[in-house]
């Protein structure tokens, strides 16, 4: 490994310009500084890189080989620096975004597509997952920011949350639901605590926290035992199991609007208002967003606001 990689930059300019004088002018340094740098590099590599012919430099075989190695890096580096400079005034580069699976699949692809119609220099990587997977990725810098279910975040073990900034974007209504067939067969209109507790439940999490939080909110019963007959790993599977009459499950109402309207799925209601889950933009506490992130985040919130106002029941925008 070379002791000083700056010497490769000097070498690159000397090679491409064919003289110390031209390289010195390009680098805004003295000719002697360039000459000394090349001399040190040759000494370090234990091989001459140029043959001196009067005021011109002719590369040796070692010089040609080194140039072939350095050239791609310098070209990519210059392009990258140019993109960074451009990204300060025009959205560009890659955005790595985390999101809950259901919310991400339902809304982000169309929002990304519309955004890229305006800013084609921006590319995206979407990471769909739970708080357990997204928060560590955020902490390690593997995603730039994430949309996250606060309802799930509070019900799991994800370590210290003080290092993150939660900026609420929308709220979604969280409901207990079952199919009409299951309701008529097993519930039969009895929505008492005792009746609901003996039902079959479809759970999204092994620790049953979403179900337990629902009972705690609606009946002030923090310690309960429920009969979980099916545990799945995503929201879509909960909805599918509900439709197939497996039992009751916790769902976001806006994801089953059509089924609620046509009576295929029954909303289990009590005298209390429903739980509202905040979907928040989450950053590391001390992270300074890039210009591209700021532009996209504003676009994202505006788009969600428009979609919700036009189409969705059970959601409301919090960020203006």
- Dihedral pair phi/psi, residue 290, rounded to 5°: -75, 165
pLDDT at 320: 47
pLDDT of the residue at 119: 92
pLDDT at 206: 63
Query: What is the DSSP code string of 53-95?
Result: ETTEEEE-HHHHHHHHHHHHHHHHHHHHHHHHHHHTTS--EEE
Residues of the chain with confidence (pLDDT) below 50: 320
pLDDT value of residue 150: 74
Give the chain's domains with CATH numbers: 6-87 (1.10.10.10), 93-171+278-317 (3.40.190.10), 172-276 (3.40.190.10)
pLDDT digits (tens, 9 = 90+) for 207-226: 677 898 899 999 998 888 88
Which pLDDT value is given to residue 170?
80
What is the pLDDT, as a whole number, of residue 29?
A: 94
- Could you give the C-alpha distances from 229 to 4, 59, 248, 291, in angstroms and in order? 64, 75, 10, 48
pLDDT at position 79 is: 79
Which pLDDT does position 310 carry in this prediction?
A: 62
Say how far apart CA 126 and CA 66 lie, in whole Å. Answer: 38
Strands 122-128 and 93-99: parallel
| Residues in a beta bridge with 201 | 228, 248
């Amino acid at each position: 490994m070379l002791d000083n990689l700056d010497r490769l930059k000097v070498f690159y300019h000397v090679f491409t310009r064919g003289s110390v004088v031209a390289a010195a002018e390009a680098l805004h340094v003295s000719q002697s500084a360039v000459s000394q740098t090349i001399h040190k590099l040759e000494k370090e590599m234990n091989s001459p890189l140029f043959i001196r012919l009067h005021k011109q430099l002719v590369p040796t075989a070692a010089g040609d080989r080194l140039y072939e190695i350095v050239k791609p890096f310098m070209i990519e580096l210059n392009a990258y620096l140019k993109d960074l400079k451009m990204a300060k005034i025009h959205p560009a580069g890659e955005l790595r975004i985390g999101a809950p699976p259901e919310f991400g699949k339902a809304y982000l692809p169309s929002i990304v597509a519309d955004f890229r119609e305006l800013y084609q220099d921006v590319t995206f990587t979407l990471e769909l997952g739970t708080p357990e997977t997204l928060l560590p990725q955020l902490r390690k810098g593997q995603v730039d920011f994430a949309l996250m279910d606060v309802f799930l975040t509070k019900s799991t073990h994800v370590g210290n949350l003080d290092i993150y900034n939660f900026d609420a974007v929308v709220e979604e209504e969280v409901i207990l639901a079952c199919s009409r067939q299951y309701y008529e067969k097993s519930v039969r209109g009895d929505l008492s605590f005792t009746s609901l507790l003996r039902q079959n439940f479809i759970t999204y999490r092994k620790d049953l926290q979403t179900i337990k939080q629902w009972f705690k909110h609606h009946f002030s019963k923090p310690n309960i035992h429920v009969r979980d007959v099916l545990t799945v790993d995503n929201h879509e599977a909960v909805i599918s199991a509900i439709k197939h009459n497996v039992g009751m499950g916790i769902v976001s109402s806006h994801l089953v609007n059509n089924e609620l309207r046509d009576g295929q799925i029954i909303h289990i209601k009590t005298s209390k208002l429903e739980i509202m889950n905040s979907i928040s933009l989450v950053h590391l506490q001390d992270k300074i967003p890039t210009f591209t992130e700021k532009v996209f985040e504003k676009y994202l919130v505006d788009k969600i606001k428009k979609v919700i106002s036009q189409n969705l029941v059970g959601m409301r925008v919090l960020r203006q």
